[in-house]
Chain A
Amino acid sequence: MTSKRTRQQITTGISRRDLMRLSALGLAGYSQSGWLKALAEGTANDPKRKRACILLWMTGGPSQMDTFDLKPAHKNGGPIKPIETAVPGVKISEHLPKLAKMMQHVVPVRSMNTKEGDHTRATYLLRTGYLPQGPIHYPTLGSLLSNELGSEKNELPNFVSIAPYRFLSPAAYQPGFLGPRHAPLVVGGPGVNVVRPGSDNYTQALQVKNLGLPGGVDLQQADDRLALLNDLEEDFGTSRPGVIESSHRNSYEAAVRMMRSESVKAFTLDEEPDKLRDSYGRNQFGQGCLLARRLVERGVPFVEISLNGVQGSNSFAWDTHRNNFESIEKLSEVLDPAWATLLEDLKTRGMLDSTLVVWMGEFGRTPTINRNKGRDHFPGAWTTVLSGGGIKGGQSYGETSADGMTVKDNPVKVPDLLATVSRALGIDPTKQNISNVGRPIRITDTEAKPIEEILV
């Protein structure tokens, strides 16, 4: 008995019996639970606390010409005007006024130069750093980075994905060869139909599915059930130990731990003052950004939020083949307060230096305006944005030609961008993981060059 217990503790740090101790104590006993308390203390205010990343994913490919790389002097420029920002010389769209005031923490990278103009493949490229290739399942960015930054002992999962719009490129949202242990906890329901672009039903969308006990089952009955399950697991784990059995146990423990943890209150947005909630914006994206802050605060190292559309927009999110300018204005009205408030909020709480906020989509849009007043897919010269911690804010990087058609200097490829993101988070981008085909694969491609000029 003793020796078996020791073996289990060596392998997982938490014995199978602990699952039971945890459940038997229930919610009331939470604060007395020894190891759980220790974990909670470990994540908060740890001076060695690792950094975190929040990815603002712009589904559909946002127009650089109408956000961060305006060309008012050229006919490609369109009607949207640039405004001054907190940083002299760096101008952005008039529809991002709040963000303009935070520009000292922001770096637009205006010289993105990629090759994929197809939603499926480009989304995969930007979110994994690689093009789909044969049998290799490349992990999505959140899985890659949370693998580096996270801890198995967190009360909450290391990677939370808010309202992902996976329809166009499902593989770009998966943990790939890192395995399901690194899969995101998805908030907003599993189906693309559940979170519709423009839906204002964000309260429900931001809940974790199946987190609550089924109707009619109280805590006592839940504990009884877990006790029965525990006996079955003891038997199976003893007769057939291995990675499969231990992953089953680990994930059940993590799920129960989350169900009963204090940290799960991260999802209770009602705790926030109304004024702050208003300031983020009363929509799914705005409240998603607030949720991201609450998760990072509780030790979650990677959170992504997708902006999939706004009400009244005639296209899916940033895929503005028609009526580009009206759509961009509406999207900006959602984006601007959410992002600016997020930076402000992180700063107030002393978390800005350790939290990198990345803004990107799968590609940019054509500088030329089509006859539907729209802009089409354009990977040749476009913009992504880094903000918050780990970078030298208050500058822009790279430049495009006067017509916006080409990159004038310092072209940035996808691996370069992701290597920069890694470095800003204190991660070595040349680190290798073993892939599903047995070949080691670097976090970013061998040819990646981090943008040293904008790194702290």
Chain B
Amino acid sequence: MKSNSVRRLASACLCFGLLLGTALVRPVAASEPVADDVQKLADAIDKLIADQWKENSVSPAAPADDSEFFRRVSLDVTGKIPPAADAMDFLESLSPDKRRQVVDRLLEDPGYITHFTTFWRNVMMPEVNADFQVRFLVPSFDSWLRKQLTENTQYDALVKEILTTPLDSGQNNRRNPYQRLGEASPLAFFQAKQIAPENLASATSRIFLGIRIECAQCHDHPFDTWKQEHFWSLAAFYGGIERQGNQGIFGRVRELSDRRELNIPDTETVVQAGYLDGTEPQWRFRVGARTTLAGWVTSPENPYFARTAVNRMWGHFFGVGIVDPVDDFTAGNPPSHPELLDLLAKEFAVHNFDLKFLIRAITASRTYQLTSRKTDERTDDPQLFARMAVKGLSGEQIYDSVAQATGSYRPYNARNPFSFGGNDPRGEFLETFANNTDATTARQTTILQALAMMNGQLVANATNLSQSRSLAAVAEFPGLTTAERIENLYFLTLSRKPRPEEIERLVKYVERGGEKSDPKKSLGDVFWALLNSSEFMFNH
């Protein structure tokens, strides 16, 4: 009886699912053909991680329960909390393989495309946060990324397409990019780097190879083996690019694609193109310098390429990389689990640089599925991965999760690069929650963020009975006990059942009676507290 009425309400809440553009009933995808490989890699991860626990005499935290896992993996894969009804379904499902199945389903959710478009754009175009001109380029780069993610383009092919994108204005007949906002193209990568060889060299190196060689631009690297000549030899692959006219990054570009040398600015020195490891490029007839470079960068034999990619993904899911910061592979910053890094890189390459394979394997590991509860001081070292880290959410994740919980979703215009200007609710929210700290495990809340959540319009509407669809449904659906209404609020926000002591406490609050008491209003207070709680605001 009780679970029936909760179920009915869940269906009522599910109407919001339609508004959110998600399917009401989603079939569970059939197991992937590579299923065994996924499990094999997940097991191998767990073994290598467990070896270090043993070495350090650490006993890991307990496994996360279904609710903790489902909320976490939804935020990590689709960038928002699951709909309440999905969270209930997941909890009740008896399928022994349900965690693997739900990841397969989330990878087909539009949220995966949206979330990882933001993820890869932040990785590849960090300039967006610093330079307003570059914001004009976001729609174009984002739609290109969305296309790649929709098609699940192999990661090596994706990077190759960026690095070899035609630049010469004569070749690609490029008009003023202001006029073609939104046209899918990775060209923005070059524009964000000012179409300058030295910027492109440091970006190529840092983003795709995990090597921060930019220090070597002016002097030999202080902490490492990189010399100034390595930097400029890498830049020389971009030596044929030349900006024309005075329109900056929006102007025309000329490219002599077979130019393989570069004049170091303000010097007489001419440097020949050469790889970072000192090997000579194998030049081929009529193959341009950038194409040659792209081949080397993305080669399965390149020791850095796959490692950097898997380390980045690991960092995304665990909050901390095996090498951390994730783009700082140096002798002075060794990996916490070198064998694991090698194994992930090898398997990633063997499986055609398939990002979804990597995500399936990581999320299938017992290591990923540990609770974030602290049970033992010795689990504190984040690079032991002995319990899940608590991660801060991005502004996008918070907004989209509040929208998910409250049913107040207003789709944002992905083609408007200026949504940061505060002229739409999501843009205003994102600006308040903009965060320049790379590490999700070091995110801090600001006073303005606290004020926005406590008193701002979004949450005020969500917790106001006459404005909020979710709250009205929970408070007014006939035939429910107070405990059931509270349970629904928990599923809407925290994606879990309330614990008995929470139920007891909150039922007492809602039903406390008295002159001014209004149970419906009190449910709004409970909803408010849940939306403002650390448990809602963080991924754990």
A: number of interface residues (CB 8 Å)? 72
> Mostly helix, strand, loop or mixed at chain B's interface?
helix
Partner of A190, one of B422, B436, B454: B422
Q: Please tell me which stretch of A72-80, A133-141, A323-331 contacts chain B, meaning at least 4 of its Cβ atoms lie within 8 angstroms of it.
A: A133-141
- Given A251-B449, A254-B450, do A239 and B374 touch, yes or no (CB 8 Å)? yes
Provide the bound-state CA to CA distance between A216 and B532, in Å. Answer: 18
- Cβ A120 vs Cβ B444 within 8 A: no
Q: Please tell me which stretch of B43-51, B129-137, B259-267 contacts chain A, meaning at least 4 of its Cβ atoms lie within 8 angstroms of it.
A: B129-137
- Cβ B509 vs Cβ A228 within 8 A: yes
User: What residues on A are CB-neighbors of B431 within 8 Å?
Assistant: 190-191
- Cβ A209 vs Cβ B451 within 8 A: yes
A350 at the interface (CB under 8 A from B): no
B240 at the interface (CB under 8 A from A): no
A:191-250 near B, CB below 8 Å: 191-194, 208-217, 220-221, 224-225, 228-229, 231-233, 235-237, 239-245, 247-250
Provide the bound-state CA to CA distance between A221 and B524, in Å. Answer: 10
User: What residues on B are CB-neighbors of A88 within 8 Å?
Assistant: none
A176 at the interface (CB under 8 A from B): yes
Closest to A247 in B: B444
User: What residues on A are CB-neighbors of B457 within 8 Å?
Assistant: 214
Provide the bound-state CA to CA distance between A332 and B352, in Å. Answer: 64
Instruction: Scan A108-126; emit 1 where CB is below 8 A from any B CB, else 0.
Output: 0000000000001000100
User: What residues on B are CB-neighbors of A169 within 8 Å?
Assistant: 130-132
B:391-433 near A, CB below 8 Å: 391-392, 420-423, 427-428, 431-432
Question: Which of B212, B372, B444 has the most chain A CB atoms inside 10 A of its CB?
Answer: B444
Closest to A171 in B: B130
Partner of B212, one of A134, A210, A217: A134
Distance in angstroms from A377 CB to nearest chain B CB is 13
Distance in angstroms from B71 CB to nearest chain A CB is 13
Closest to B450 in A: A255
Closest to B465 in A: A216
Distance in angstroms from B496 CB to nearest chain A CB is 12
- Given A157-B447, A229-B529, A247-B445, do A438 and B325 touch, yes or no (CB 8 Å)? yes
Question: Which of B372, B452, B533 has the most chain A CB atoms inside 10 A of its CB?
Answer: B533
Provide the bound-state CA to CA distance between A251 and B421, in Å. Answer: 24
B:492-540 near A, CB below 8 Å: 502, 505-506, 509, 516, 521-522, 525-526, 528-530, 532-535, 537-538, 540
Instruction: Scan A170-201; emit 1 where CB is below 8 A from any B CB, else 0.
Output: 11001111011101011001111110000000
Provide the bound-state CA to CA distance between A216 and B535, in Å. Answer: 26
Question: Which of B420, B438, B454 has the most chain A CB atoms inside 10 A of its CB?
Answer: B454
- Given A170-B132, A228-B529, A232-B535, do A135 and B451 touch, yes or no (CB 8 Å)? no
| Number of A-B residue pairs having CB atoms within 8 Å of each other in the complex | 200
User: What residues on B are CB-neighbors of A212 within 8 Å?
Assistant: 455
A454 at the interface (CB under 8 A from B): no
Provide the bound-state CA to CA distance between A165 and B390, in Å. Answer: 34
- Given A194-B422, A216-B464, A255-B454, do A240 and B447 touch, yes or no (CB 8 Å)? no
Partner of A436, one of B390, B437, B454: B437
User: What residues on B are CB-neighbors of A171 within 8 Å?
Assistant: 129-131, 436
Distance in angstroms from A246 CB to nearest chain B CB is 9
- Cβ A120 vs Cβ B132 within 8 A: yes
Provide the bound-state CA to CA distance between A147 and B534, in Å. Answer: 25
User: What residues on B are CB-neighbors of A124 within 8 Å?
Assistant: 130
- Cβ B529 vs Cβ A244 within 8 A: no
Provide the bound-state CA to CA distance between A187 and B212, in Å. Answer: 38
Instruction: Scan B357-399; emit 1 where CB is below 8 A from any A CB, else 0.
Output: 0000000000000001110000000000000001110000000
Partner of A233, one of B212, B437, B534: B534
- Cβ A191 vs Cβ B427 within 8 A: yes
- Cβ A236 vs Cβ B533 within 8 A: yes
Distance in angstroms from A166 CB to nearest chain B CB is 9
Provide the bound-state CA to CA distance between A249 and B445, in Å. Answer: 8
- Given A209-B452, A214-B455, A244-B444, do A167 and B132 touch, yes or no (CB 8 Å)? yes
User: What residues on B are CB-neighbors of A225 within 8 Å?
Assistant: 525, 528-529, 532
B:310-360 near A, CB below 8 Å: 325, 327-328
- Cβ B133 vs Cβ A120 within 8 A: yes
A132 at the interface (CB under 8 A from B): yes
B20 at the interface (CB under 8 A from A): no
Closest to A231 in B: B505
Distance in angstroms from B489 CB to nearest chain A CB is 11
B91 at the interface (CB under 8 A from A): no
A258 at the interface (CB under 8 A from B): yes
A437 at the interface (CB under 8 A from B): yes
- Cβ B374 vs Cβ A185 within 8 A: no
Distance in angstroms from A19 CB to nearest chain B CB is 11
User: What residues on B are CB-neighbors of A191 within 8 Å?
Assistant: 421-423, 427-428, 431
Provide the bound-state CA to CA distance between A169 and B129, in Å. Answer: 9
A252 at the interface (CB under 8 A from B): yes
Provide the bound-state CA to CA distance between A170 and B423, in Å. Answer: 16
A369 at the interface (CB under 8 A from B): no
Question: Which of A217, A240, A245 has the most chain B CB atoms inside 10 A of its CB?
Answer: A240
A168 at the interface (CB under 8 A from B): yes
Provide the bound-state CA to CA distance between A255 and B443, in Å. Answer: 18
Closest to A156 in B: B447
- Cβ B448 vs Cβ A183 within 8 A: yes
- Cβ A176 vs Cβ B446 within 8 A: no
Provide the bound-state CA to CA distance between A217 and B540, in Å. Answer: 31
- Given A170-B132, A179-B444, A183-B446, do A193 and B421 touch, yes or no (CB 8 Å)? yes
Provide the bound-state CA to CA distance between A362 and B304, in Å. Answer: 40
B126 at the interface (CB under 8 A from A): yes
20 new A-B contacts at CB < 8 Å, known A244-B391, A248-B538, A252-B450? A120-B130, A180-B436, A180-B443, A185-B447, A191-B423, A191-B427, A193-B421, A210-B455, A228-B526, A228-B528, A229-B532, A240-B373, A244-B441, A244-B442, A245-B390, A248-B450, A252-B445, A252-B454, A437-B212, A437-B328
User: Which are the 7 A-B pairs with shortest beta-carbon distances?
Assistant: A191-B422, A171-B130, A214-B460, A228-B529, A247-B444, A255-B450, A210-B451
What are 13 residue pairs bridging A and B, where the CB atoms are less than 8 Å apart in the complex?
A: A135-B325, A176-B436, A179-B444, A183-B448, A224-B522, A228-B526, A229-B533, A236-B533, A236-B534, A245-B390, A254-B447, A258-B447, A437-B212
Which positions in B face A, CB cutoff 8 Å? 126, 129-133, 202, 206, 212, 214, 325, 327-328, 372-374, 390-392, 420-423, 427-428, 431-432, 434-439, 441-452, 454-457, 459-460, 464, 502, 505-506, 509, 516, 521-522, 525-526, 528-530, 532-535, 537-538, 540
